[in-house]
Amino acid sequence: MSTRADRLVELLAGAAADAILVTNPVNVRYLTGFTGSSAIALIGPDIRVFATDFRYVEQAAKELDASFDRVGPSQDRLEAIADALPAGDTRLGFEEAHLSVREHARLRERLPDRIELDGLHGLVENLRAIKAPEEVAAIRAAAELADEAFARIISHGLVGHRERELAIALEFEMRRLGADRPSFEPIVATGPHGALPHARPRDVEITSGELVVIDWGAQLGGYCSDCTRTLAAGSVNGHGAEIHQLVLDAQIKGVQAIAAGAAGREVDAVARHVIDSRGHGERFGHGLGHGVGLEVHEDPRLAQRSDAVLEPGNVVTVEPGVYLPGELGVRIEDLVVVTGSGREILSGLAKELTVID
């Protein structure tokens, strides 16, 4: 963990900050090892300070990286951190996306005038975007668990089951296999409901002849997976099969475009061109993919306006979709690791259109 903090200090120099106050719980976990929900950390060239409250004292003693000094416990973590700041004029960075206006005002009240506050954006997130081998292994394990849960659930069939029933069963199976929790609430959407990219499962029965979009993921050891498959319930009509093949063609091209040095917008364009060229470009309205790690949505982004350049260690989704309101939706998604020589797909399930009774 200390090496992560060391790398963050290197980034601080480029941001002209002397130290940074980390308040995002996910970033605190990444830098310190602490998995609780209430803590902050102060990091600089010669300072590693961690503060939590009474509820997490024992947990912090077990989990906290040895390079950090604990202060408190304190009911006012900001005050405890302020007291730990070094003497002299200091430019203190803070995570502007994760410190509320109220918290900023409280922090300003507790700091001497010699401390200048500077909002910083994305420093820790940039570090998190490049996964170490052990992080890739953790994501792979989460993906394998999620694949197994999916295979077990669909072995019981689709027709006659309700969307919500399958979503609950999928979550239960992931937990039963050892997941911390699902990465997000599973999506099960049948027929026209599948045209909603983030559909919520309903108490609606799946009938034969419908396409069923299932989007799910497991969190294991803190790391997330994310996968989507579109299946045919009982039978499939020609139009549904045609749209599925279109999305599959785009998805395969998108995966093939994943490589170190490729820009996010370039990868997006490869897959998007396949769908555009067959007349359904307007029905693919979201980005091609996103990073996955401690959170299910991270950097880098694969999207039309993304300037992110892929690097070895990035783990991203590739998930094109076509959504026809009132008719159907199709999305196919894999988790892909960027490697020095290309890519590795972590999702192990078949992508071809499969009919499940």
Q: pLDDT-based confidence at 31, cuts 50/70/90?
A: very high
Most trustworthy range by pLDDT among 38-47, 83-92, 155-164: 155-164
CA–CA dist 28, 36 (Å, integer): 9
* Contacts (Cβ under 8 Å, ≥6 apart) of 6: none
State the Cα–Cα distance between residues 1 and 31, nearest whole angstrom.
6
Helix crossing, 25-32 with 2-14: angle to 10°? 120
Mean pLDDT calculated for residue range 10-31: 95
H or E element, residue 25? helix 25-32
| Cβ contact 155:349 at 8 Å | no
- Name residue 69's beta-bridge partners: 49
Q: Is the pLDDT of residue 318 over 70?
A: yes
SS3 assignment for 50-101: EEECHHHHHHHHHHCCCCCEEECCCCCHHHHHHHHCCCCCEEEEEECCCCCH
- Cβ(291)–Cβ(274) under 8 Å? no
The pLDDT, as a whole number, for residue 164 is 99
φ and ψ at residue 346, rounded to 5 degrees: -90, -25
User: 158: closest CA among 196, 197, 194, 198?
Assistant: 194
Question: What is the arithmetic mean of pLDDT over 339-357?
Answer: 97
pLDDT tens for 159-211 read 999 999 999 999 999 999 999 999 999 999 999 999 999 999 999 999 999 99
Question: Are the C-beta atoms of 231 and 206 separated by less than 8 Å?
Answer: no
Condensed to tens digits (0 to 9), the pLDDT of residues 86-126 reads 777 789 999 999 988 998 898 888 888 888 999 999 999 99
- Dihedral (CA of 332, 335, 337, 338) sign: positive
Sign of the torsion angle spanned by Cα atoms 11, 16, 20, 25: negative
Neighbours of 145 (CB within 10 A): 21
Over range 256-268, report the average pLDDT. Answer: 99
Structure tokens at 209: 């002849």
In whole angstroms, what is the distance from residue 6 CA to residue 31 CA?
Answer: 10
- Which bin fits 279, alpha (ψ -120 to 50), beta or left (φ > 0)? left
Q: Distance (Å, rounded) from C-alpha 82 to C-alpha 42?
A: 9
- Please, what is the average pLDDT of the chain? 95
- Decide if 278 contacts 269 (C-beta within 8 A): no
DSSP states of 124-151: HHHHHHS--HHHHHHHHHHHHHHHHHHH
Query: How far is 269 from 254, CA to CA, in rounded Å?
Result: 8
pLDDT of residue 1: 58
pLDDT attached to residue 67:
94
Q: Which of 44, 33, 34, 54 is nearest to 9 (CA)?
A: 44
Distance from C-alpha of 2 to C-alpha of 242, rounded to nearest angstrom: 52
Q: What is the arithmetic mean of pLDDT over 261-290?
A: 99
Tell me if residue 249 falls in helix, strand or coil. helix
Domains of the chain listed by start with CATH number: 2-128 (3.40.350.10), 130-356 (3.90.230.10)
Count CA within 13 A, CB hemisphere, residue 231: 25
